[in-house]
């Protein structure tokens, strides 16, 4: 595992050695792709365009947010900013890394929440846009634009998280794959016909299950706040 971490650190060095203008770009990407933006920006916009799509974005965002927390409790995962010092790598070789205000994230790092939640929640919106474009244009290249933009966004989000030392590359890849799989799977089970009470009940159930899982893990002697 150390070899994987060291490779990730060197990859972050390469990213940080890029042109200065890229720094603002990566910071902007990671800020705009913050999971809370799914609920404050993407959901309202999607709902305005199409109610079912909006509900699907909210539903996948909610479930993926919950699952990401649970996965991090069981998968743990180091954070590059902390690992490079705690592992002793910084004292063994010259490591040229820069710190940013958002670098010092605490808590487990696997899988990346930015990649997983964004990948899942935007899947219904991307498929809806792809269907809309397919009805209006015959060109295969034009039909692929929404999906292509989705892939490019996820890649940019993943690279931004590595650049800022918030995640290792393998945590980003895991987050993207989990997000895409969740979005694809949950879209077919969107509870679009349910009343608001269903979502309130579901949210409370997920919240209480988190507390229960947290208590069970602590009782088992696992320190998830390491």
Residues serving a catalytic function are 114, 167
Q: Give buried/exposed letters for 24-57 (b at 16+ CB in 10 A, else e).
A: eebbebbeebbbebbbeebbeebbeebeebbbbb
Q: Within its chain, how far is the Cα of 43 from the centroid?
A: 16
Q: CB atoms < 10 A from the CB of 139, how many?
A: 10
> What tokens does 23 get?
């720094």
The Cα 212–Cα 217 span in angstroms is 9
Residue carrying structure tokens 């910084």: 90
């Amino acid at each position: 595992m150390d070899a994987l971490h060291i490779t990730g650190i060197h990859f972050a060095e390469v990213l940080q050695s890029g042109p200065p203008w890229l720094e603002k770009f990566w910071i902007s990407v990671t800020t705009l792709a913050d999971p809370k933006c799914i609920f404050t920006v993407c959901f309202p916009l999607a709902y305005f365009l199409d109610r079912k799509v909006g509900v699907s974005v909210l539903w996948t965002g909610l479930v993926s947010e919950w699952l990401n927390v649970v996965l991090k409790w069981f998968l743990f995962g180091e954070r590059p900013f902390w690992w490079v010092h705690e592992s002793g790598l910084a004292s063994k070789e010259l490591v040229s890394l820069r710190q940013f205000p958002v670098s010092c994230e605490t808590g487990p790092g696997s899988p990346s929440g930015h990649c997983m939640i964004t990948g899942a929640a935007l899947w219904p919106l991307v498929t809806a846009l792809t269907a809309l474009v397919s009805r209006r244009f015959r060109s295969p290249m034009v039909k692929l634009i929404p999906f292509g933009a989705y892939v490019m966004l996820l890649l940019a989000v993943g690279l931004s998280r590595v650049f800022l030392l918030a995640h290792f590359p393998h945590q980003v890849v895991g987050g993207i794959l989990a997000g895409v799989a969740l979005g694809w799977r949950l879209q077919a089970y969107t509870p679009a016909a349910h009343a608001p009470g269903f979502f309130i009940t579901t949210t409370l159930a997920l919240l209480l299950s988190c507390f229960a899982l947290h208590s069970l893990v602590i009782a088992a002697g696992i320190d998830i706040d390491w």
